Amino acid sequence: MTLFDLTGLRALVVGGAGDLGRAMLDGLLEAGARAVAVDLAPKVDDLAAELRAQGHDVHGLQVDIRDRQAIKASVQTAVALLGGPIDILVNAAGIQRRAPSERFSEQDWDEVLSVNLTAGFVYSQQVAPAMIAQRRGKIIHVASIMSQFGGITIPAYAASKGGLAQLTKALSNDWAAHGICVNAIAPGYMDTQLNTALIADEKRSAEVLLRTPAKRWGQPADMKGVVVFLASSASDFVTGTVIPVDGGYSAR
Percentage helix, strand, coil for the chain under 3-state DSSP, each rounded to 5: 55, 15, 30
Alpha-helical runs (H) found in 85-140:
106-113, 119-134
Query: Are 209 and 13 in contact, with CB atoms under 8 Å apart?
Result: no
Taking only the tens place, the pLDDT of each residue in 51-84 is 999 999 999 999 999 999 999 999 999 999 999 9
Supply the pTM of this predicted model: 0.96
- Give the pLDDT score at 245: 98
Look at residue 90 and give its three-state secondary structure: strand
| Annotated active-site residue in 123, 157, 189, 249 | 157
**Which residue from 214, 213, 185, 218 is spatially nearest to 199, judged by alpha carbons?**
218
Predicted local distance difference test score (pLDDT) of residue 63: 98
Give yes or no: 189 in active site. no
Query: What was the pLDDT predicted at 131?
Result: 98
Query: What pLDDT was estimated at residue 8?
Result: 95
Asked if 141 and 171 touch (Cβ cutoff 8 Å), the reply is no
- Identify the H or E element spanning 45: helix 43-53
CA 100, 103, 106 angle in degrees (round to 5)?
115
Q: Splitting the chain (252 residues) into consecutive groups of 10 residues, what average pLDDT does each group show?
A: 94 97 98 98 97 98 98 98 98 96 98 98 98 98 96 96 98 98 97 84 89 94 98 98 96 90
CATH of 2-245, picked from 3.90.920.10, 3.30.390.10, 3.40.50.720, 3.20.20.70, is: 3.40.50.720
